[in-house]
């Protein structure tokens, strides 16, 4: 798992998670309800962001430089992983 302590990566378009070296960075994001979270692939390999409990729509295959966003309207904990590389895991905590 990448990242360490909970982090908020706030940008103009919402919260951002980089995919680098086969990790979600940060691995844990805490955001308010209604937040948009965007994953961007910085690896040379494709990745697919998948909701572990089907709580949000899965991304298409993300090639290098591709991004995918989801909006999290309801408070809760949302686990995700890469369907191609399942050792890649992350968590979105919505308050």
pLDDT in tens, 25-55: 999 999 999 999 999 999 999 999 999 999 9
Total domains, the chain:
1
- Of 66, 1, 72, the closest CA to residue 34 belongs to 72
Q: Which two tokens mark 53?
A: 């409990």
| 91 token code pair | 């968590």
CATH for 66: 2.60.40.420
The residue segments making up the domain with residue 33 are 10-94
> Considering the chain, what percentage of its residues have pLDDT values greater than 90?
85
- Does residue 42 lie within any of the structural domains? yes
Give pLDDT, residue 54.
Answer: 96
Tell me whether residue 72 is in a domain.
Answer: yes
Question: For residue 4, what pLDDT is reported?
Answer: 37
Asked whether residue 18 is domain-assigned, the answer is: yes
**37, 27 contact by CB (below 8 A):** no
Q: Is the pLDDT of residue 88 over 90?
A: yes
- Residue 1 domain-assigned (yes or no): no
Best CA proximity match to 76, nearest among 57, 49, 61, 56: 56
Whole-angstrom distance, CA of residue 3 vs CA of residue 87:
14
């Amino acid at each position: 798992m990448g990242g360490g302590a909970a982090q908020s990566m706030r940008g103009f378009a919402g919260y951002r998670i980089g995919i680098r070296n086969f990790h979600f960075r940060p691995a844990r994001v805490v955001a308010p309800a209604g937040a948009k979270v965007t994953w961007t692939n910085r690896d040379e390999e494709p990745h697919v962001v998948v909701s572990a409990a089907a709580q949000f729509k899965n991304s298409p295959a993300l090639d290098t430089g591709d991004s995918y966003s989801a909006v999290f309207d309801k408070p809760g904990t949302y686990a995700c992983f890469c369907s191609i590389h399942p050792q890649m895991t992350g968590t979105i905590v919505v308050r």
